[in-house]
Amino acid sequence: AAVSAGARMINDVAALTYDDRSAEVIAASDVPVVLMHHKGPPETMQEDPRYDDVLVEVYLWLEDRIAAAEDAGIKHDRILVDPGFGFGKKLSHNLELMNGLALFHSLGVPVVIGASRKRTIGALSGEAPADRRLGGSIAFALKAAEQGVQIVRTHDVFETVQALRVWRGLRDQALTPRV
């Protein structure tokens, strides 16, 4: 229904695991899909998530989901991945993911990050409420951009775009050789 109504991308927080029909619907459409990592059902995913190595485990899980999507007929060039910041992860897991985002580029598909206003920002900033996490959201967006993430999902579009443009200008100037 969303595709028929004009949706231009599907953000699947279940990476095709919650509904057996989702892969078929996406394969029959022309829209890209974001396959997001999660650990456990929404009702319990935050109770006590554990990983031996969060980066490796999320990477391998996403690699499997990409293969499943392609097996279902979804073209590789229409697949994006999201490591699922906050979905079945503790603060330490989220920080490891944020600091290791560049690893996910080797999956061969664009990387999406959605860390805007997440609990991790609240925890790192003295439990600021969600509507007071703009600064932390921008910090995470810049960290993601630094690691080459192609798409940053955000609540505060204007401020995040402005921060990314300024960051890019500073970076490009720093890389410009002096004559």
Q: Among the options 39, 78, 118, 133, which is catalytic? A: 118
Which string of b and e fits 100-128 if b means at least 16 CB within 10 Å?
A: bbebbeebebbbbbbbbbbbbbbebeeeb
Task: Return the closest-CA partner of residue 36 out of 111, 94, 134, 131.
Answer: 111
- 133 included as an active-site residue: no
- 118 included as an active-site residue: yes
Q: Among the options 21, 153, 165, 178, which is catalytic? A: 153
Sign of CA dihedral 49, 53, 58, 61: negative
| φ/ψ bin of 84: left (φ > 0), alpha (ψ from -120 to 50), beta (otherwise) | left
Task: Return the closest-CA partner of residue 38 out of 60, 9, 66, 58.
Answer: 58
What residues are labeled active site? 118, 153
